[in-house]
Structure 1
C-alpha cells in the first residue's frame, strides 16, 4: 500500500475534520478510563466468596463487555486516521503527523492540539522535539 503524501494546504484543509474526530476519540478514551476505574472500585468492594463465584453468573460481565466494545470503537476511530494517511502520535494531547515531501526529502508535517493550523514539520527520525517552522 502506498503512503499518502500531503501538501501543507491539503493537511490544513483536512485539519478541521481531524480535530472533531480527535475530540470524539479523546472523549471516548476518557469515558473508557472512567468506567474502567469505576469497575475496579466496584470489584474491590464486592469480592465474591468462592461459593458464590461457583454458582452465580459473572456480575461484571456486562460492564466488562461494554468496556471491550468501547475499546473496539476507539481502535476503529484510530484506524480512521490511518486510512486517511494521518499518523496519530499522541491522543492526549493531540499530536498528528502528515507524511510529506519537502525539498525532495521525506518529512512529517505536524500539528499539536491547540495550534490553529499545520505550520511545522520534522524528519521521520527527529520526532516532535525536532519541529521546525514550515518555510
Structure 2
C-alpha cells in the first residue's frame, strides 16, 4: 500500500512541478527573444557588422532556449537526488539488505556516462560554431541576392 501511495504522490507532484517549471521557462524564453529582437532593431550599422545575423539567430534559438530550460534543470538537480534517496530508502525498507547489491550496476552505469557526456558537450560546441557559420553564409547570400535584384 505504501509503495502505491508513494508512486501516486510522486507522479502527481512531478506533473505539477513539470507544468509550472515549463510555463515559467516559456515566459523567460519569450521575454528574452523579445529583448533580443528589440535590441537588434536598435543596433547601429557599425554594430551590425560586429554581430552577424547568424550570431543573433544563435542568441535567439539557443541561448534563449537554454535560459527557458533553466527552471526545469535547476529544480531537477535537487529533486532527482531527493527522489533517488527516497527510492533507495523505500527499497531498503521493503527488500532489506538485498537491495544494496542491486545498486552497484546502477552506480557503474552512472559513472560510465561521464565520458560520454563530455564527448557530447564537445560535439555540441562544434555544432554551434558550424551553425553560426552556416547562418552567416546564408545571410550573406540572401543579402547579395537582394543587392543583385535591386
TM range (shorter): 0.3 to 0.5
TM-score, length basis structure 2: 0.34
Q: Quick check: which one's strand share is greater? A: 1
Larger Rg: 2
